[in-house]
Amino acid sequence: MTLIGKCLIIKGIKPVVRYQLAFKNTYLYVSFSPINGDSFVYEIEGVSSDIFYKYLERFSQYKPTELKIVVIDSAGFHSFKHCTTPENIRLIRIPPYMQELNPSEKIWQYIKQYYKNKVFATLDAVKQWRHKFTENKLKKKLVKSITQNAFF
């Protein structure tokens, strides 16, 4: 679905944007470091506790000697009782409706500025756009500047 954004236009002229209503989707599980600007992306077709746990397992294998602190919200799929968190990952749960405490939310706000008013022919085109965007725009220095705050 097209994310429609605001635009500047001359008074009295109605803006026209292309719009597409589609229900295909993909999911990104992403971690960003406010310390060094590093990022880890795990793309998969679904959301569940099991998939979130698989993401944590994959993330723990990325730079395995590094201790990773993952800030999570209270989404249902962030809870799992039958598994233990990988040894090099610590989960910090933030209170409900406090997205400003989650560094990743700031990155999503930044990305949405560039995503608005775009129409993609296929889901693969969306994935290609996302890949090019992260390669060309989301440099480590930018990630650090967006995610750093008084809490991190």
DSSP string, 84-137: ---TTEEEEEPPTT-GGG-HHHHHHHHHHHHHTT---SSHHHHHHHHHHHHHHT
Contact at 8 Å (CB) between 26 and 125?
A: no
Q: Is residue 14 part of a domain?
A: no
Task: Kindly state the percentage of the chain with pLDDT values over 90.
Answer: 14
At 29, list the tokens.
């599980």
Q: 17 phi and psi, to 5 degrees? A: -130, 150
CATH code, domain carrying 93: 3.30.420.10
Contact at 8 Å (CB) between 30 and 130?
A: no
Is the predicted pLDDT of residue 65 greater than 90, yes or no?
yes
Q: Is residue 81 part of a domain?
A: yes
Q: Is residue 152 part of a domain?
A: no
How does residue 138 score in pLDDT terms, banded at 50, 70 and 90? confident
Q: Quote the radius of gyration of the chain (alpha carbons, Å).
A: 18
pLDDT tens sequence across 82-96 = 778 899 999 888 888
Q: Is residue 55 part of a domain?
A: yes
Range of the domain at 136: 27-147
Q: Is residue 71 part of a domain?
A: yes
Q: Is residue 69 part of a domain?
A: yes
**Residue carrying the six token digits 């602190």:** 69
Q: Is residue 48 part of a domain?
A: yes
Q: Is residue 4 part of a domain?
A: no
Domains of the chain: total: 1
